[in-house]
Amino acid sequence: MVPVSVLVPLFQSRDLLVIDKPSGLSVHNAGPGETDVISSACREFQVSQVFPVHRLDKETSGVQVLALNEKAAREWAERFQTREVTKIYRAIVRGNLARPSGTWNKPLTDKAEGRMNPQGPAGNRVPCETHFQVLDQNRYFSLIELDLRTGRQHQIRKHSALDRHAIVGDPRYGDKAYNSKMAKLYETDRLFLHCHRLSFENLIWESPMPEAFAKLMAPSGTSAKE
């Protein structure tokens, strides 16, 4: 259950509000009895309206940019669409990657798919590119940093699953039994994907990794046996 006050401000100006979004909070269209980023931002920062210029998945935490007027919304949406904004994510995935860095470039559809076929129908696939770098590993997990070179729906989640290193806690593309086991062992069922940094020209917004990440990456790591 997301608490009533949920949004940590990272930056605010006349045109923009940048917040640190928690995992488990939708950007918009919350269900009955739930809140979302838009309604929470209006309430907590006493603004009349906000416009999300990009959207993190409900399960993903980290840097979320909101425009405070329609002009800024159009300008920033264009910057995201034309890849002028650099997007750096961090994730914890199953197992150890064979290479310390590389690029995942399998084509994907631009909509949500399922674990049986993350790429989606062949006729609907479009070019995709995700650069990864391993930051840390223990016996059971790898902490990776990801530079999103294209912006397809669930791109990082699909690419990591296709490389047989699904993101820990991914309910759509990961293994349900494995995720259930990890949730019990580590007392969290979150998706271990975090928008760590967004940058545009001289603007840089960064969110520290959540505490839950450190718990999985602890060197002892004795309880996550396959």
The verdict on 67 and 98 lying in the same domain is: no
127-183 tens-digit pLDDT: 999 999 999 999 899 999 999 999 899 999 999 999 999 999 999 999 999 999 999
| pLDDT digit string, tens, across residues 18-46 | 999 999 999 987 777 778 999 999 999 99
Statement to judge: residues 117 and 193 lie in one domain: yes
pTM across the whole model: 0.91
Q: Which of 82, 106, 121 is the endpoint of a domain?
A: 82
Residue-number span of the structural domain to which 200 is assigned = 83-226
Does 226 score more than 50 pLDDT? no
**Average pLDDT across the chain, whole number:** 91
Task: Give the Cα separation of 55 and 37 in Å (integer).
Answer: 10
Radius of gyration of the chain from its Cα atoms, rounded to whole angstroms: 17
- Tell me the β-bridge partners of 195: 62, 89
Same domain? For 47 and 146 the reply is no
pLDDT surpasses 50 at 224: no
185 vs 2, residue with greater confidence: 185
Last residue of one domain, picked from the residues 82, 114, 148 = 82
Least confident piece of the model among 2-16, 137-151, 181-195: 2-16
Say which CATH number the domain at 97 has.
Answer: 3.30.2350.10
Whether 92 and 178 share a structural domain: yes
Three-class secondary structure of residue 71 per DSSP: helix
pLDDT at 147: 96
Interval 74-93 mean pLDDT: 96
Exposure string of 28-45, with b = 16+ CB inside 10 Å and e = fewer, is eebeeeebbbbebbeebe
Catalytic sites, residue numbers? 57
Read off the pLDDT band of 222 (50, 70, 90): very low
